[in-house]
Each structure stands twice: as structure tokens, then as C-alpha cells.
A and B are shown apart, each in its own frame.
Chain A
Amino acid sequence: MGNDSKSDLKSNLPSPVSADAMLRVRAVSKRYVRGGLLWNRTQVAAVDGVDLEIPPGRTLALVGESGSGKSTVARCVARLEEPDAGEIWIAGERIAGRIPGNLGSPQPDSARQSARANLLLRNQVQMVFQDSITSMNPRFTARRVIEEPLLIMGVSAQLRRDAARTAVNEVGLSADWLDRSVMEFSGGQRQRLAIARALVVRPKLLVLDEALTGLDLSTQGQIANLLLDLQAAHSLTYLLISHDLALVARMADTIAVMAKGRIVEKGPAFEIMTAPKHEETLRLLSWARAAQSNLALISGTAVSGPSA
């Protein structure tokens, strides 16, 4: 952790945070230790000096291949990881970045107060994962999954019930299904349930980590449309994480391309899609085109018989 003194120094300087940014990530780095027990250890920089900014109600897509570090950025923003260096601000409040003696918490005065502040800050950011079922207790009913964040906040039973009902309606699930086990839901329904759980605490920022990956085409379209509708209804800010550039480009205002822990290209979605500059962006685009040409092949836009 050789960078500690440097980042401490940085955190004491006034930060040039634009007041209007919903999410601001500044010079965030995260290293993981890999290798043997005490010797042969190597440090791998998963994220190396990443800067991002999303204005309220906008969508930024962070794309890159597996291992590029995009999920680590997402986990730092959702506070599932503490960055080694750099700062993260949400709605003008710093949620990560070292303050001496206290990990990321903005109010070191009393432990209880800071726990409460932490909770409220956490609620502003919610995350939806790819295999959302792995983030749900298989013994829980849909109701319990959705109500649990409120239970932790100490919300009364009546309010929890109402909130769960509203949340499932919003994501297009029937309130009659609230008492079913999460295992009884299909892949697309589980994704809706995960979105309902995220929405129930009224967050400002949703981090969607490959939330549309692995779904069939029609379900993918439905969930994408749902996310677009929810964004319009609640002025939500989205951080989309994906390897599928063509898919997220259709939902994003801005695209940032990551490779080997760094952001290599960033710009308006249309510009990235029409005039890509970095070779990594070109590579991601060529994958997207290959998938498209397969679809063109089968749907008859281009003609070719089945291989014999």
C-alpha cells in the first residue's frame, strides 16, 4: 500500500467535484494480491487511476472484456470493495477515499452516527448482478427479498408491505407472487425481482453489472425497456457494466471503454459507435459486428445455407 500517503495528501485538498455530478470517480485504484502464502506474492492492479463522471438522470456504460477491471470499479462504487486510492463521490458526498482513522465514512464523530450515515449513503447506490439468484437467499420468498433492505433500515411492517407491493408493480410482476419462493421465478422474473429490491430504498444510482447478460433475446429487450422506463419515471442515474458494446450503446448516453484497469476511450455513445479511436474499442465493436452478421445470416438479410 505504498500509495497511502499520497492519497491522504490528495484527500485533504479541495476536490474539484462538479456539484451537479451524481457519480464522480476520481483516480480510483484497486490492487489484488495474487500468488503464494508469504512469498511469491504479486500485486495485480485491477483498476488503475480511473476517472468517471455521470450527471443525474444519465447513463454511462463501462465496457471491456472479462478481466478489464470494469466490475471492480462497479464494486467500489457500490461499496463492496474499498479502493486503495482515489475518491468516489455520490450526489456531492464522498463515500470512498481515505480519511485518517476512518475507512471512507464521512462522519467519524460517533460510531452509531457514522453507521447510520453509511447506511443512508449505501441506499443511494444499489446494484443488480448478472445471476441475480446467486445474490438471493434461496429460502426467501419474493416478499422477504424485497422487504429485507427496509427491515435493516428499521421501517415498520405496514410500510414495508406497501413498499414491496409498489416495487413489484413497478417492475411488472404480479403482487400475487410476493409469497412465492424466489426459486420459482424464471430468469427474467428474477432480474425484475432484483430490480425491485434495488428500487425499494429509492436509490439515486443503479449499478447494473451485466444485468442483461445471459437472458434470451426477448427477455433482454423487456428488461432493457423496463430499465429505460424506470429511469424516465424516477430520474435514475445508471452505471451499466457489460462486455456487450452493441447492447449497452442503445441504453447509454456516454460510453467508457476499459482495458487492463484503465479507461482507454470515453465519449458520447454515438461518437464511440461511429468513430471509435482506440484499438480496444475497435475490437469490442468487431465482436458486436460478428454477432450481428450471425443474426443477419439466419434472418435472411444475407443468404447462406446450412453447412453440410
Chain B
Amino acid sequence: MSVSYALQDGTQIRAVDDLSLAVRSVEVVGILGESGCGKSTLANAILRLLPGHAGCERGAVYFRGRDLLRMSEANLRAIRGRDISVVPQDPALTLNPVLNAGSQIAEVLRAHLPLRANERRARVLELLAEVGFDRPEEIYGAYPHQLSGGQRQRVAIAQAISCEPALLIADEPTSKLDAPLQAEIIALLGRIRREHGIAIVMISHDPAVFAGFADRVAVMYAGRVVEIGTTAQIFRNPLHPYTQALVQIARSEVGAAPRAGRMRFAAIDGEAPDPSCLPAGCRFHPRCPDRMEVCSQRYPQAFLPEPSRPVNCFKYGE
């Protein structure tokens, strides 16, 4: 799949470039990448939720054998929220401020399921209890501004799972929350996946959220997936130099002794490239410690140094 944004001056920026990814049923796939690497564009492109100046120019998104990108708007609407739903990064922006939490969840049910009003209400209360509210009745009548960040995220999750979808797309659902809330939300998503058999595409810049949660991780850099593997493979034996650098930073954060005082932090030198002027060849080569001559000449195809372990890097073949 490729997605481009048209800028005001007429230039096109390709945010997602020739990307392929398969998600099996009941699988959790993590998408790891720095801000600006195109991971949110990918998430929004799957359900055609991109803004008007963005165009999905190439590729296809197959869901149960049907191409979502070429489907009619009416058919797609039947899938959004029903078979595939989204957990947003910031529910404060996606929830309607003038509707109470319960009726916003009921709205999704009304759009997709033939339930009577009292059945709908019962189902909403059941969903609120399921996402961890002790007193669902109180939350039902609460407006978004009366809820805390963690509570709003739970309401958004209840909304997303209300029609028992097959796939959940979670775009950085914890990045605006405190550490203990993050852990709670991840645990909740893990439980929902186990109990309802929902596949999840989880997008994050923080490798820690994938621990014990994701089955596989795809690492994105500058609009492309550079490496895919099981969570254990990616973090214990990273193959792409970019993944290796990320894992090294994560490891440096884990110290035996608590650290205090002024200490330098580990970081990858340089910045991710601007999508309007991408480097030729491998997009990571200007920051790569292992770069070779060929890296600046053409983009590396996927090599398979291990079975089902594609890595786009010339270190593993030519």
C-alpha cells in the first residue's frame, strides 16, 4: 500500500510507501516506529479515514477477501465499527462533548445491531462493566469532560468492542496516560483479545507496550516496514540496524541501580528523514553505523536471514 499527502504547493509527500502486512485472526501485531514514520497514516488508511488531501494511490487492503479500498462507501460503513473498529489516541478529541458516555456507545449499537432501546441500554451497561467500571450506571450518564483520561479511554474501548469486531486498530491508545494507567489499559486490551478472540493492530513508539502483549512486531521507518518478526525475535535478536539501535536504547534504560544526577541519555544520532526529501537508497543509511556503498544506491529488498523473518537490509544479502 502507498499513501501520499498533497501539500498546498502541489508537491506530494509519500507517508506510507509500498507497505505489506498481514494480520491473522486473533493475532496482536505491533507497529513500532518514531513519530512521523507513517504509522498513524497506515492505521487511518485501512478504514479510509484519511483527510481529503491524502490519497491511497496504490495497493489494496483485504479484509476477509474483500478489498476495503475499492468498496462502496455504504459497504464500508457496514464494516467500520462492526467488523473493524478503532481505539483512538486521544478520546478527548473523538468523543462527542455534548453526549453522555452511554448514548455514544449506544449510537454504535444502533447503527449496526437490531436491538430494542432497553436491550441496547443493558448491553451498554454490560460493556461498561466489562471495561472495568464498578458503577456502569454512573458512567452511562457522565459527559466526557466529567471523566478522567483513563476513564475516557475505557469508554472509547467499550465503544470499539460494542459490536464484537474481528479487528481492533489501536493507535497509540496509551501515549497520553500515566504509567499505571498505561499498564491497566494494555492489560484490558489483552483480556478483551483473549476473551473475545479479537485481532489487534497496536501502534506505538514505545517498545515497552508490546512486552507480553504483541505476538508479532513490524518495525516502520520513514514510511516502510524494515523488519517483521515475533516480539521475542525483534527485541532479543533484532536484525535491522535501526531496530538494533532502538533496542539498545531500551536496554540502556534498564539499569540495575537507580540512576540519579546528570547523566547523558542514549539516542540515535540525527533525525528521521523529512518525507518530502527522503534519502536515496535505504532511508536509514545516513544514520546507520553499518552502512555500505550499496545502501545509498538502491532500496534493499526483503531478505530472509531466518525463516519468516523478512529484513530490508543489505547486511543479509545482495
Contact = CB atoms under 8 A, between A and B. Distances in A.
Nearest to A285: B258
A94 B174 CA distance: 41
A288 B179 contact: yes
B25 to A, nearest CB: 14
Interface in B241-256: 245-247, 249-251, 253-255
B58 interface: no
Interface string B249-270: 1110111011111111111100
A285 B212 CA distance: 21
B292 interface: no
Interface in A216-230: 216-222, 224-225, 228
A242 to B, nearest CB: 11
B258 A249 contact: yes
Report whether over half of chain B's contact residues are helix, strand or loop; otherwise say mixed.
loop
Interface stretch (A21-29, A72-80, A155-163, A267-275): A267-275
Contacts of A250: 259-263, 265
Interface residues of A, number: 54
B265 A224 contact: yes
B251 A307 contact: no
Nearest to A214: B175
B251 to A, nearest CB: 4
Contact of B260 (A66, A244, A252, A296): A252
B263 A299 contact: no
Contacts of A290: 179-180, 183
A213 to B, nearest CB: 9
Interface string A260-297: 00000000111011100000000001011011101111
Report whether over half of chain A's contact residues are helix, strand or loop; otherwise say mixed.
helix
A298 B260 contact: no
Interface stretch (A44-52, A102-110, A183-191): A183-191
Contact of A292 (B34, B245, B254): B254
A221 B213 CA distance: 25
Contacts of A287: 178-180
A187 B260 contact: no
Contacts of A217: 205-207, 246, 249-250, 253
A283 to B, nearest CB: 8
A300 interface: yes
B267 A219 contact: yes
A12 interface: no
Contacts of B265: 220-222, 224-225, 250
A91 interface: no
A297 B179 contact: no
Given A215-B35, A295-B253, A298-B250, A59 B208 contact: no
Given A189-B271, A214-B176, A221-B265, A294 B260 contact: no
Contacts of B1: none
Q: Point out which of A243, A252, A291, A299 has the most chain B C-beta atoms below 10 A from its C-beta.
A: A299
A295 B208 contact: yes
A249 B260 contact: yes
Nearest to A298: B235
A218 B212 contact: no
B78 interface: no
B92 interface: no
B242 to A, nearest CB: 10
A221 B251 CA distance: 13
A65 B178 contact: yes
Nearest to B33: A216
Contacts of A272: 260
A298 B210 contact: yes
Nearest to A130: B176
Contacts of B260: 249-250, 252, 255, 268-270, 272-274
Nearest to A180: B274
A243 B179 contact: yes
A304 interface: yes
Nearest to A300: B236
A307 B186 CA distance: 13
A66 B260 CA distance: 22
B247 to A, nearest CB: 6
A186 B259 contact: no
Q: Point out which of A225, A228, A290, A306 has the most chain B C-beta atoms below 10 A from its C-beta.
A: A306
A306 B231 contact: yes
A216 B34 CA distance: 6
A231 B33 CA distance: 30
B178 A269 contact: no
B17 interface: no
A214 B205 CA distance: 9
A193 to B, nearest CB: 13
B181 to A, nearest CB: 9
B151 interface: no
B126 interface: no
Nearest to A66: B178
B53 to A, nearest CB: 13
B254 to A, nearest CB: 5
12 contacts: A187-B35, A188-B35, A217-B253, A225-B265, A246-B253, A250-B259, A253-B262, A298-B235, A298-B236, A299-B247, A306-B216, A306-B230
Interface of A: 59, 65-66, 186-189, 214-222, 224-225, 228, 243-244, 246, 249-253, 255, 268-270, 272-274, 285, 287-288, 290-292, 294-301, 303-308
In the complex, the 3 A-B pairs of residues with the closest C-beta atoms, listed nearest first: A221-B267, A221-B265, A269-B260
Given A188-B271, A295-B251, 19 more contacts: A186-B36, A187-B35, A214-B175, A214-B176, A216-B34, A217-B249, A225-B264, A246-B259, A249-B259, A290-B179, A295-B208, A298-B208, A298-B236, A299-B207, A299-B236, A301-B254, A304-B212, A306-B230, A307-B212
